[in-house]
Amino acid sequence: MAKNGNDAEIDEGLYSRQLYVLGHDAMKRMQSSNVLISGLRGLGVEIAKNVILGGVKSVTLHDQGVAEWKDLSSQFYLREEDLGKNRAEVSQPRLAELNSYVPVTAFTGTLTNEYLTKFQVVVLTNSSLDEQICIGDFCHSNGIKLIVADTRGLFGQLFCDFGEEMTVFDTNGEQPLSAMISMITKVKTQLDWAKLYHVMVSFKPCPYTFSICDTSSFSDYVRGGIVTQVKMPKKIAFVSQLHMGFQALHAFEKKHSRLPKPWSQSDADELVALAEEANAAQTGSAKQEQLDQTIIKKLSCMAAGDLAPINAFIGGLAAQEVMKACTGKFMPIMQWLYFDAVECLPEAGDAVLTEEECAPRNCRYDGQIAVFGSKLQELLAKQRYFLVGAGAIGCELLKNFAMMGLASGEGEVIVTDMDTIEKSNLNRQFLFRPWDVTKMKSETAAAAVKLMNPSVRITGHQNRVGSDTEKVYDDEFFESLDGVTNALDNVDARMYMDRRCVYYRKPLLESGTLGTKGNVQVVIPFLTESYSSSQDPPEKSIPICTLKNFPNAIEHTLQWARDEFEGLFKQPVENALQDPKFVERTLKLPGSLVTDYPHSWEDCVAWARNHWQCQYNNNIRQLLHNFPPDQVRPLTTSGAPFWSGPKRCPHPLEFSTNNDLHMDYIMAAANLLAQSYGLPGSTERSALTKLLQDIKVPEFIPKSGVKIHVSDQELQSANASIELKAQLPSTEAASQFKLCPIDFEKDDDTNFHMDFIVAASNLRAENYDIPPADRHKSKLIAGKIIPAIATTTAAVVGLVCLEMLKIIQGHTKLESYKNGFMNLALPFFAFSEPIAAPKHKIDWTLWDRFEVKGIQSNGEEMTLRQFLDYFKVILDAHFLILFWGCTRTCSHAWWFEKRIIFHIIYIITIPLAFWVKIIS
């Protein structure tokens, strides 16, 4: 692919997961946008990283300042040897490595009006209020989209000005709704299928009705029809005047040529006075009746702070706004966003931070010490954390860990991931480079993070977490941990790690993304519920009869094609390899399809041609023989004809070598069959056409008496099926050929897997007059791909690390912790307290249990008598708790009944414990 800015194809191998978020049109618009990012401290480099990964035309890095100690708290592309050097120039080569399609340059001069005209989007960070207003006015009047981003300690803000008239092509990024029409009533509505209609939804007489316009002159509705939502562009307007939210802070900095000192009470009082003065000068809605002096003082106390998690969160949001400005995809922020995480500070009653405690030390953590003090930094250095997964979320977590100084002393971060790096990972897993493809993720990520902060201790493993690795991640391992962070991509592994954390009573930080959507959940022992305490409802499955005979959506034909792939090229070969005698017996059963195994490429082509005929002609003709298109009976329960509602009447296809889709199917199916038998294939289209002309296809005559099931209930109670059975390799074939079952792999464009899926699905869609899907959409649905984008990942991980700071400080109040939910497309952000650990009748939670320490304080093993005495004390204490809790709510009879039960349990444990002692 040519460099961005040329009329070239998009590199789907690199951008595949992002394409499912933005789409091709938005990606092409982004590839024509030049972006300027001013300010290369922690926030600026975070925005630049995400924008470069996204794939704009070019990025220019602007900074006139030099690297300082406090920059190293969050600027992950600065190193200690870079102190005193220009931040933009040092960062440029390291940022340029992220994406070879995006030219990255550094600029250290003054931002003049003439220079700004080169860009479609300008981002300002670490800028003065005067600069923001001046550049903002120029950009607004010249059609340049402006984003101002700022972070101060635990505070952050965003401002967007995208001009007086911006077109948003897609406000939410959701797939357009589509539904089948089951009935059209004759009211005054004139219906033109080619026109767009504004829909009026009504919940009467049922929630599935809507009205459009006059249909009274139309004939009676018979069947068919699909209604599809059309997303209409929306025009929005912005104003150029910047909000004065941080005006007092800018005034302080202008007056003193510095920011307020960390936790200086005199500076905080002065900032409050400046804020009151600024507010008094406001008019209208901008003027506040009363300012929150407490929050202003906290802003003053940590204004000099620079935190990696806050920069990650605000940087992810800001980069997404850049993409919105470039593409018109998703709704921009209108126009201000304010965020703080002051609940990360020590809880009330804990040690009060002082100016001395938070003063700079001329070390790489000065930006963090300015907010939390040096004692937290010492705690961070001692932490031992287990990170499960080194993908997109894992890479972002490791970067933040390094900047925060997690495990930079006696502690350790253990990261495990069994996967290797693929090209598609490079678009969002920013620790990896093209030359890292095929390497192990965990080892590569650990090495990359060590360059960011050499003092961080990180160990990479290549293990899958599960029962198979419990000898590695055993009692000793988990008991040595301070916490666990998940960076997983499947629910089963998440639930397994959740169970382990509950068992060992370790805090768990859970997060996930889906395109522009993200969530964070914090699990704290004895305080919150666990990850597994609540689960999403299972995905709705497609009824089997819908897949087999009555599809009405492209999702149905794609699932059918996936089932075809498995049933033709994987399962039969696996069966033959596992038990050749089973296959031989199966082939001898009456009614089984016995076919000769292929000996050559020509045989594979003949099989593919005959299979095409069966699936797209013969089977459809048989179905129409059983249920003719004009059949009035049997009527459904609603009295409608058989082929109505969700049942679309199909039609058979006639094969033609002049039809590209037909030829795509034959080419893919024949090559896949050849692969499964270890035969050579071919990609010669002209030769394939010639072979097909000589193949004789048996004539098909529909049969009477063939049973076709119209519901899953019928299908479950019967064994018959008209489906063409998969070709099973015989025992002779198993011994003669190198049989190889084919595992579906969606990301290899040369293996014919997606070629088969796309052709098989679209041919069946043509049978049923369903709109086809292109390769891109087919891969998304059939491959069950999770859309992903770097911006969401960065923002989510920022929130995760804020919760980690609370855990490490030992926060004990439920209200201190926050579960987070976001959708950057809308944009939408919501935070809530975690759900408290549910309590049972005796005030026990999932975290409570009986514990027996087998090794005493003197190092001796507990004897059987000591164990029984200990267990008796525990039971008696349990009885007291039970009695206290139950006498208030239950009858005495209930209490005596429970006491008898527990005494029985106690008596039973005596021989049981004795037996356990003997066998041990």
Structure tokens at 460: 């990479």
Residue 322 is predicted with a pLDDT of 98
Best CA proximity match to 725, nearest among 825, 610, 839: 610
Mean pLDDT of 790-801: 98
Give the C-alpha separation, 4 to 10, whole Å.
Answer: 9
In sequence order, what are the residues at sequence separation of 6 or more whose Cβ sits closer than 8 angstroms to the Cβ of residue 751? 745
- Helix, strand, coil proportions of the chain in percent (round to 5)? 45, 10, 45
Give the C-alpha separation, 320 to 335, whole Å.
Answer: 14
Best CA proximity match to 553, nearest among 230, 221, 228, 784: 228
Q: Given pLDDT bands bounded at 50, 70 and 90, which one contains residue 584?
A: low
Residue 589 is predicted with a pLDDT of 46
Residue given tokens 């092509």 in the structure block: 169
Residue type at 833?
Answer: E
Structure tokens at 805: 């700071």
Q: Given pLDDT bands bounded at 50, 70 and 90, which one contains residue 181?
A: confident
Residue 849 is predicted with a pLDDT of 79
CB atoms within 10 A of CB 675: 20
Biggest CA-to-CA distance, the chain: 96
pLDDT at 895 over 60: no
Residue 893 is predicted with a pLDDT of 44
Query: What torsion, rounded to 10 degrees, do the Cα atoms 134, 137, 139, 141 define?
Result: -150
Q: Are 37 and 47 in contact (CB under 8 A)?
A: yes
pLDDT at 569 over 60: yes
Helix axes 265-280, 247-256, angle to 10 degrees: 120
Segment of 345-359, 529-543, 769-783, 832-846 carrying the highest mean pLDDT: 769-783
Indicate the SS3 state at residue 351: coil
Structure tokens at 330: 């998703």
Mean pLDDT of 781-799: 96
Indicate the SS3 state at residue 822: strand
Task: Point out the least confidently predicted range of 318-327, 475-484, 634-643.
Answer: 634-643
Helix (H) / strand (E) element for 531: namely none
CA distances from 886 to 445, 849, 894, 896 (A): 54, 19, 8, 11
pLDDT at 198 over 80: no
pLDDT at 507 over 60: yes
pLDDT at 917 over 80: no
Q: Are 754 and 778 in contact (CB under 8 A)?
A: yes
Residue 888 is predicted with a pLDDT of 42
Structure tokens at 595: 């076919």
Residue 717 is predicted with a pLDDT of 57
Q: Which of the residues are catalytic?
A: 545
- Higher-confidence residue: 870 or 376? 376
Best CA proximity match to 90, nearest among 102, 110, 104: 104
Q: Given pLDDT bands bounded at 50, 70 and 90, which one contains residue 90?
A: very high
Task: Point out the least confidently predicted range of 188-202, 262-276, 470-484.
Answer: 188-202
Q: Given pLDDT bands bounded at 50, 70 and 90, which one contains residue 886?
A: very low
Q: Are 148 and 159 in contact (CB under 8 A)?
A: yes
Q: Based on the number of CB atoms within 10 Å of its own CB, is 465 exposed (0-12), middle (13-18) or buried (19 or more)? A: buried
pLDDT at 848 over 50: yes
CA distances from 838 to 509, 526, 533, 835, 843 (A): 19, 10, 9, 8, 9
Residue 572 is predicted with a pLDDT of 82
Q: Given pLDDT bands bounded at 50, 70 and 90, which one contains residue 179?
A: confident
Residue 9 is predicted with a pLDDT of 81
Structure tokens at 716: 């479950």
Q: What predicted TM-score, i.e. pTM, was given to this entire model? A: 0.88
In sequence order, what are the residues at sequence separation of 6 or more whose Cβ sits closer than 8 angstroms to the Cβ of residue 104? 48, 52, 58, 59, 60, 61, 92, 95, 96
Mean pLDDT of 702-711: 84
Q: Are 231 and 197 in contact (CB under 8 A)?
A: no
Instruction: Look up residue 599 and give its DSSP letter.
Output: -
Best CA proximity match to 664, nearest among 697, 692, 698, 700: 692
- Higher-confidence residue: 905 or 345? 345
CA 475 to the chain's CA centroid: 31
Residue 881 is predicted with a pLDDT of 53
- What are the pLDDT digits (tens) for 405-463? 999 999 999 999 999 999 999 999 999 999 999 999 999 999 999 999 999 999 999 99
Q: Are 61 and 103 in contact (CB under 8 A)?
A: no
pLDDT at 185 over 60: yes
Q: Are 546 and 553 in contact (CB under 8 A)?
A: no
Give the C-alpha separation, 779 to 774, whole Å.
Answer: 9
pLDDT at 918 over 60: no
- Higher-confidence residue: 863 or 301? 301
Mean pLDDT of 500-518: 97
CA 734 to the chain's CA centroid: 42
Mean pLDDT of 811-817: 96
> Which stretches within 405-479 are classed as H helix?
441-452, 475-479
Mean pLDDT estimate for the chain: 87
Give the C-alpha separation, 73 to 405, whole Å.
Answer: 8
Give the C-alpha separation, 132 to 123, whole Å.
Answer: 10
Instruction: Look up residue 434 and give its DSSP letter.
Output: G
Helix (H) / strand (E) element for 341: namely none
Q: Are 308 and 156 in contact (CB under 8 A)?
A: no
> Which stretches within 31-146 are classed as H helix?
42-54, 87-96, 113-116, 129-141
pLDDT at 593 over 80: no
Show the CA angle centred on residue 120, arms to residues 338 and 21, nearest 5°.
Answer: 65
Give the C-alpha separation, 519 to 540, whole Å.
Answer: 22
